Amino acid sequence: NSGSGNQGITATVPVMVVAEHVGADDERLARALMLSHLSAIYIHHQLPRLSALCAATTAAMGAAAGMAWLIDGRYDTIAMAISSMIGDVSGMICDGASNSCAMKVSTSASAAWKAVLMALDDTAVTGNEGIVAHNVEQSISNLCSLACRSMQQTDKQIIEIMASKAH
């Protein structure tokens, strides 16, 4: 992952746990980790450099992709898991790498596993609800457009609050 250590942990550890559970060999684990990290980077690349959107959530979207691929290998399962993640944790804000960041990693990893289980049961947040669209690409685009446009004032407010604590 190209983000913080917590983002790397989020994109890696859940996938490794599932790989161990399913008895994946080293090559399959490497492929799942690659999918996880590249998916997370793909989503995160569409965000502004500084964003109020918690990047642990986007890293966990990658983890959901990697876990779903390990268990099922189908694109539809992966897409449903990512879409459910967008419907679930998209409003989580980033207020810096702090103790609360570790809690957000835990929340996001749990949401990723829940999204994978739902997808395996052919269930997902649908395009009829909220910012989730009928295809995963548009869902990702909707998420990133919120972060790029609508959350700019949130970015400023978070920085203002954090800066006031420096005194």
Quick: pLDDT tens for 77-112: 999 999 999 999 998 988 877 888 999 999 999 999
Number of domains the chain is built from: 1
Kindly report the length of the chain.
167
Between 58 and 161, residue with greater pLDDT? 58
Residue numbers of the domain that contains 11: 5-164
- For 111, other C-beta atoms within 10 Å of its C-beta total 22
List pLDDT tens digits, range 110-148.
Answer: 999 999 999 999 999 999 989 999 999 999 999 998 888
Give residue 167's pLDDT band: very low, low, confident or very high (50, 70, 90). low
What's the per-residue H, E or C state across 52-121? Answer: CECHHHHHHHHHHHHHHHHHCCCHHHHHHHHHHHHHHHCCCECCCCCHHHHHHHHHHHHHHHHHHHHHHC
Arithmetic mean of pLDDT, 36-58: 89
